[in-house]
Chains A and B, each alone.
Chain A
Amino acid sequence: MDDLERDLKAQTLPSEPPQETLAGVTERAEREGLVDVAYATVDSPMGELLLAATPTGLARVAYPVNGHDAVLADLARRLSPRVLEAPARLEQARRELDEYFEGRRQEFELPLDLSLTRGFSRRVLDATAAIGFGEQLTYRDVARVAGSERAVRAAGNALGANPVPVVVPCHRVLRSGGGLGGYTGGLENKRFLLGLEGLTI
């Protein structure tokens, strides 16, 4: 390596683009309709939640235990690789969740995109979405409402794969004997959410 090559290496260059330049990328991408999946991370009493939305609506709520990177990779594969951190689109979701955790909201009004689920799973989620604040159904109940009372295990699997927990309240589905059953975010969080709604198990 000679002087010239050393000089070239020694030139100072910025290590990162400025924040406002990066923010400009996100803003322009949103404006031009290039963001198929926008996401943001938000604080909650259950740890940092990952929220992701398509232009249609909220498509994913993920717990820390789900692994945010793994969830984003999954969204890139199943929805679109145009996944960008663009918190503005998640503003309503963040606000409604905050209100829910603070006890000021019992129902979510934000638009959903449930395109990650179909068929029986989708009907199970629809049945679950209709369970009101502070109420509970059994796995058998939601299986029946979804059209197949005997498919209790399939209903459990569908709820375990609920892409939008909390908002579609799968924590309100319990076992017939009153047992907790399972939960995508861990039983600790299921207990917390039920407690928030006045039920102690």
Chain B
Amino acid sequence: MTALPPFQTVLDEHRGDVYRYLTASVGPADADDCFQETCLAALRAYPRLRHADHLRAWLFRIAEHKAVDVHRARMRRELPSDELPERGAEDPGRAGQSGLFEEVRLLPHKQRAAVVLRCVLDTPYSELAHALDCSEPAARRSVHEGLTKLREGAHRWMTSSAT
């Protein structure tokens, strides 16, 4: 059994990936707060870990919980309103580069997480399974389903803008 490394080492090694994951998953406006919440939750739980395996996947799992929190809070904010949410209005200035991620953020949570981890961060399927807390075939399915939904969305968008 490997001993737990100093938390700072874990953070230094993976903070870039965790931050990218959150930026893609919740958008740049909420990424910083979400990143801090992730680090604090990880630090709280860290001494209770029984081994030092899959620390990156463990961090992604915590980050995903925090990302879901952000999405739920947004839904609560949007519910009372009759107006349609204004897509693309949340991050002015960065809208151009994040257009595709806005589509990704509309996916069901598990598919969103799977697509970001696999297609954006190149996470191996074995690690993806740990991060999503499911089997490897289930992780592959989530990626596939997410990508299929994104393709359908892109197709719809292209045909509707062509008319």
Question: Are B43 and A5 within 8 A (Cβ)?
Answer: no
CB-CB under 8 A from A77, the residues of chain B are 3-4
Interface-lining segment among A53-61, A79-87, A168-176: A79-87
Q: Does B154 contact A (CB under 8 A)?
A: yes
Question: Are A29 and B39 within 8 A (Cβ)?
Answer: yes
Q: Does B20 contact A (CB under 8 A)?
A: yes
| A contact residues, range | 35 or more
Q: Does A13 contact B (CB under 8 A)?
A: yes
Q: Does B101 contact A (CB under 8 A)?
A: yes
Q: Does B151 contact A (CB under 8 A)?
A: yes
Does more than half of chain A's interface fall in helix, strand or loop, or is it mixed? Answer: mixed
Interface string of B89-128 (1 = CB under 8 A from A): 0000000011011001000000000010001100000000
Q: How far is the CB of B116 from chain A (nearest CB, A)?
A: 8
| B contact residues, range | 35 or more
Question: Are A84 and B43 within 8 A (Cβ)?
Answer: yes
Q: Does B47 contact A (CB under 8 A)?
A: yes
Given A4-B150, A12-B97, A13-B24, are A83 and B8 neighbors across the interface (CB < 8 Å)? yes
Interface string of B73-103 (1 = CB under 8 A from A): 0000000000000000000000001101100
A96 to B104, CA, bound (A): 53
Q: Choose among B19, B100, B101, B119 the residue that contacts A14 (Cβ–Cβ < 8 A).
A: B19
Interface string of A12-45 (1 = CB under 8 A from B): 1111111001101100110010111101000000
CB-CB under 8 A from A69, the residues of chain B are 9
Interface string of A40-81 (1 = CB under 8 A from B): 000000000000000000000000000001001101110011
> Nearest CB to that of B4 among chain A residues?
A81
A77 to B52, CA, bound (A): 12
Q: Which residues of B contact A (CB under 8 A)?
A: 3-9, 11, 15-16, 19-20, 23-24, 28, 31-32, 35-36, 39-40, 43-44, 46-47, 97-98, 100-101, 104, 115, 119-120, 147, 150-151, 154
